[in-house]
Amino acid sequence: MTDLLAYPYQVTCGSDLDRNGMFLELSKYGTAVAEVFYSDADGRTTLTRLSDEASQEVLDALVAEAARRLPPGP
């Protein structure tokens, strides 16, 4: 499995008050390439690909990390 914490990737976790939820943002070389967002409003989690800089393997690892770190959680 891809290590999202290994260079050149960085994962940032945060909350977004405007969208009413939490997110994991994946960056590569300092540029955001994907985001997984959990909405408190409707309980849905969505993946948004912001560029083609991440392989499917990397995106799958991001989704798995989001399932672990974002609500509703285990």
The predicted-structure confidence for 24-70, as pLDDT tens digits, reads as follows 999 999 999 999 999 999 999 999 999 999 999 999 999 999 999 99
- Please indicate, yes or no, if residue 34 is contained in any of the structural domains: yes
Domain of 49, in residue numbers: 9-69
For residue 6, the model assigns a pLDDT of 76
- Please indicate, yes or no, if residue 61 is contained in any of the structural domains: yes
What is the band of 4 on the pLDDT scale with cuts at 50, 70, 90? confident
> Cα–Cα–Cα angle for 61, 67, 68, nearest 5°?
95
- Please indicate, yes or no, if residue 42 is contained in any of the structural domains: yes
What is the band of 73 on the pLDDT scale with cuts at 50, 70, 90? low
Q: Structurally, how many domains does the chain consist of? A: 1
- Please indicate, yes or no, if residue 1 is contained in any of the structural domains: no
The Cα 72–Cα 39 span in angstroms is: 10
Q: State yes or no: pLDDT of 72 exceeds 90.
A: no
